[in-house]
Amino acid sequence: MDPPARSVIGIFAVLALIAGWAILVASFSAEIARLWGPLQLLIYLAAGVAWIFPAMPIMRWVATGRWRR
């Protein structure tokens, strides 16, 4: 597949990943809201960073055309 097509597919894949991740985290918001304030902050910070790890293979594929190194 040519690089421009991979870029377009990769953009939509990452956007779908972020949207799905946001929906997943939001589905737990009622339970998280019952927790102590600083713990809520830590959970949301971790959730805000954690989506990067599943996105890394997508970004690698966009850049190289391969899923693995």
Give me the pLDDT at residue 50, please: 96
Q: What share of the chain is helix, strand, coil (3-state, %, to 5)?
A: 85, 0, 15
Q: Supply the angle between the helices 52-64 and 3-27 in degrees, to the nearest 10.
A: 170
Tens digit of each residue's pLDDT (9 = 90 or more) over 40-63 = 999 999 999 999 999 999 999 999
* Mean of pLDDT values over 5-9: 94
Q: How far apart are CA 1 and CA 14, in angstroms?
A: 18
Q: pTM for the whole thing?
A: 0.85
Model confidence at 1, pLDDT cuts 50, 70, 90, reads confident
List the domain boundaries for the chain. Answer: 3-64
